[in-house]
C-alpha cells in the first residue's frame, strides 16, 4: 500500500523519499509484481525529476529486470527519459539493449530512441549506434520504420561528416526503407575509417536489402506504397509531384517523396535540374525563394507557426492521408488516421480510422501548418509538399476563389471557432474514445497503446470480451478491421 502512494508523495516531497530509495530497491526480491510496478513508477518520477545520482545507482536493478515482460516497457520508458539528458550513463549498456531489441522486436521503438540519444555523445559513438539503427531499418517491420529513420536522420544531421553531401540525396531518392538502408550502408562504408569499412554488420545490412518489403523491388528501389504524413519531413525537397499522378487522390506521404529509382542516373539528373530546385545551404537558391510571397510570409511568422502547431497538435490529430472526393452538392475530405506507436496490442496497426469532413479547406490549412512546423526553414510555393496541398486546395475551390497562396497569407491561422467545430466533430464520431494524445510520446496513439496494462490484464484473464466495455457501443476490438465513420 505504501509503494502505491509513494510516486504521488514524491511529487510533493522528493528529498526524503530519494534518501531511502536505495533501501526500497534493495527490498525488490520481497515485493510482488504489483509492488514492483509501483516501485518502477516511483523510479520513473525520479527520472523525470533528473535525480541523476541515485538513478545511476539503480541502473543495475533496472537492467536486471529489463527482460521481465511485465516491466520491460516501463523500464525502457525510464531509460529513455534518462537518455534524454544523460546519455553517457547508458553507453556501457548498449550491448544489453541491442540484445533486448533483437529478442523482443516489439520493444525496438524504445531501444531505437535510446540508441539515438546515446549516439549524440560523439561521432565514434554515433557510428556505432548508426550501425545498429540501420541494421534494424532493414530488418524490422514497417510499423517501426519511421521511428528508426527519425533517429538515423537526427544522428546524421548532428554529425554531418558521416554522410557528407550525400545526406540529402539518400533521404529524398526513395521511400523504400531497405533501399534507404542500402544507401546509408554504402555511405557509411565509404566514410568509415580503417577496418570499420569491412564491418560484417554493414555487409549484413546490404545483403538484407535484397529481401522483399511490401511487395516492391528492392534492387531498384521502386516503390508501390508511400510513407505516412508524419514521416515526410525527412524527405523534404522542392521537386514536383510524380509526372502523371493526381495529387488529389495521393497519400500525403507518397506525394512528398520521389518515386524515382535510386539506381536510375537519368532520373537523378532530372531531379538535380528540376525547375525551382533549392540547394540546401546554398546562397544561389536564396534569390528565387525570396521572391516567393508565401516564403516571405512564413519567414516572418515561423516562430508563431511552430508555437501554434505545438499547442494545436495536442488537441487535433494530423491525418496521415487525405483524399478529396466530389459529392452531389460539394466536395468532402476523406481523412485517414492511424496510431503513431503501433504497439503489440495496437488497434490500428494495419488499418486506419477514417473521417469524412465537409470542411476540406480547413483540414488542408491545418496540414499545411503542421507541414511547416517540421522544418527549420520557411516553405515556399515551389516546395513539392506545398504543391500537393495546393492541388488539394484547388480541388475544393470554385472558380474565382482565393488561391492557396493568398489564402495562407491572408489568414495565417484558422479561426478558433472552426477548430472548435473540428473538435466537436471528432467527439461526435467518438475519435477521442479511441485515440488520445500522449505527452510522453508527443504523438496521437490508440487507446491500447496508451493503456497497455488494459491489454495485459485482459489477456491474462484469457478473455478479450470485457475490454469492449472500455469502447463506444458497437465498436469491434479488431486491429485488422478498418474502422470507418462518416460525417455527423
Q: Which residues fall within 8 angstroms of residue 137, CB to CB, at 6 or more apart?
A: 145, 148, 149, 152, 177, 178, 180, 181, 184, 205
> Is residue 170 within 8 Å of residue 235, measured between CB atoms?
no
* pLDDT score, position 186: 76
- Write out pLDDT tens, residues 125-179: 999 999 899 888 877 666 677 788 889 888 988 998 888 766 665 665 444 566 6
Q: Which residues fall within 8 angstroms of residue 100, CB to CB, at 6 or more apart?
A: 66, 67, 72, 107, 111
Question: How many CB atoms within 10 Å of residue 198?
Answer: 10
* pLDDT score, position 280: 33
- Measured in degrees and rounded to the nearest 5, phi and psi for residue 216 equal -105, 165
Record the cell numbers describing residue 259, joined without a space: 518515386
Give CA angle at 245 (286, 321), nearest 5°: 85
What are the contacts of 116-119 at 24+ separation with CB within 8 A? 116/150, 116/151, 116/152, 116/154, 116/155, 117/80, 117/83, 117/84, 117/87, 117/90, 118/83, 118/87, 118/88, 118/90, 118/91, 118/94, 119/151, 119/155
> Is residue 301 within 8 Å of residue 409, measured between CB atoms?
no
Residue spans of the chain under pLDDT 50: 173-175, 195, 197-287, 289-290, 462-488
* pLDDT score, position 305: 94
Q: Please give the mean pLDDT across all residues of the chain.
A: 74
Cα first-last separation, the chain: 47
Amino acid at each position: 500500500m505504501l509503494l502505491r502512494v509513494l510516486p504521488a508523495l514524491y511529487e510533493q516531497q522528493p528529498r526524503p523519499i530519494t534518501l531511502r530509495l536505495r533501501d526500497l530497491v534493495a527490498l525488490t526480491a520481497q515485493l510482488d509484481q504489483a509492488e514492483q510496478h509501483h516501485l518502477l513508477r516511483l523510479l520513473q518520477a525520479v527520472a523525470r525529476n533528473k535525480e541523476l545520482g541515485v538513478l545511476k545507482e539503480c541502473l543495475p536493478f533496472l537492467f536486471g529486470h529489463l527482460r521481465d515482460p511485465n516491466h520491460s516497457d516501463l523500464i525502457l520508458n525510464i531509460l529513455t527519459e534518462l537518455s534524454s539528458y544523460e546519455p553517457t550513463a547508458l553507453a556501457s549498456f548498449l550491448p544489453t539493449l541491442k540484445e533486448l531489441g533483437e529478442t523482443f522486436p516489439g520493444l525496438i521503438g524504445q531501444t531505437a530512441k535510446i540508441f539515438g540519444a546515446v549516439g549524440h555523445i560523439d561521432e565514434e559513438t554515433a557510428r556505432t549506434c548508426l550501425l545498429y539503427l540501420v541494421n534494424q531499418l532493414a530488418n524490422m517491420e514497417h510499423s517501426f520504420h519511421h521511428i528508426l529513420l527519425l533517429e538515423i536522420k537526427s544522428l546524421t544531421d548532428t554529425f554531418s561528416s558521416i554522410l557528407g553531401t550525400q545526406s540529402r540525396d539518400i533521404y529524398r531518392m526513395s521511400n523504400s526503407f531497405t533501399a534507404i538502408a542500402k544507401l546509408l550502408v554504402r555511405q557509411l562504408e565509404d566514410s568509415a575509417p580503417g577496418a570499420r569499412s569491412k564491418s560484417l554488420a554493414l555487409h549484413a545490412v546490404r545483403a538484407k536489402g535484397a529481401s522483399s518489403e511490401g511487395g516492391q523491388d528492392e534492387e531498384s528501389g521502386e516503390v508501390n506504397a508511400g510513407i505516412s504524413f508524419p514521416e515526410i519531413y525527412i524527405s523534404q525537397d522542392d521537386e514536383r509531384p510524380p509526372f502523371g499522378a493526381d495529387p488529389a487522390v495521393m497519400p500525403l506521404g507518397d506525394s512528398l517523396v520521389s518515386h524515382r529509382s535510386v539506381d536510375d542516373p537519368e532520373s537523378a539528373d532530372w531531379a538535380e535540374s528540376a525547375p525551382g530546385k533549392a540547394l540546401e545551404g546554398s546562397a544561389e537558391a536564396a534569390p528565387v525563394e525570396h521572391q516567393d510571397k508565401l516564403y516571405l510570409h512564413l519567414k516572418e511568422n515561423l516562430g508563431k507557426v511552430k508555437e501554434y502547431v505545438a499547442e494545436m497538435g495536442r488537441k487535433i490529430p494530423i491525418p496521415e492521408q487525405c483524399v478529396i472526393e466530389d459529392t452531389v452538392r460539394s466536395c468532402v475530405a476523406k481523412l485517414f488516421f492511424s496510431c503513431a506507436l503501433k504497439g503489440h496490442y495496437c488497434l490500428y496497426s494495419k488499418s486506419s480510422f477514417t473521417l469524412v469532413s465537409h470542411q476540406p479547406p480547413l483540414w488542408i490549412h491545418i496540414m499545411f501548418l503542421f507541414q511547416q512546423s517540421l522544418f527549420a526553414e520557411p516553405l515556399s510555393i515551389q516546395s513539392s509538399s506545398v504543391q500537393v496541398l495546393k492541388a488539394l486546395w484547388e480541388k475544393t475551390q470554385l472558380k474565382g476563389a482565393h488561391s492557396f497562396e493568398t489564402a495562407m497569407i491572408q489568414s495565417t491561422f484558422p479561426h478558433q471557432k472552426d477548430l472548435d467545430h473540428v473538435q466537436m466533430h471528432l467527439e461526435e464520431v467518438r475519435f477521442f474514445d479511441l485515440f488520445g494524445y500522449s505527452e510522453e510520446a508527443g504523438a496521437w496513439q490508440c487507446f491500447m497503446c496508451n493503456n497497455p496494462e488494459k491489454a495485459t490484464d485482459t489477456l491474462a484473464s484469457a478473455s478479450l470480451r470485457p475490454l469492449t466495455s472500455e469502447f463506444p457501443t458497437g465498436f469491434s476490438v479488431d486491429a485488422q478491421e478498418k474502422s470507418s465513420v462518416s460525417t455527423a
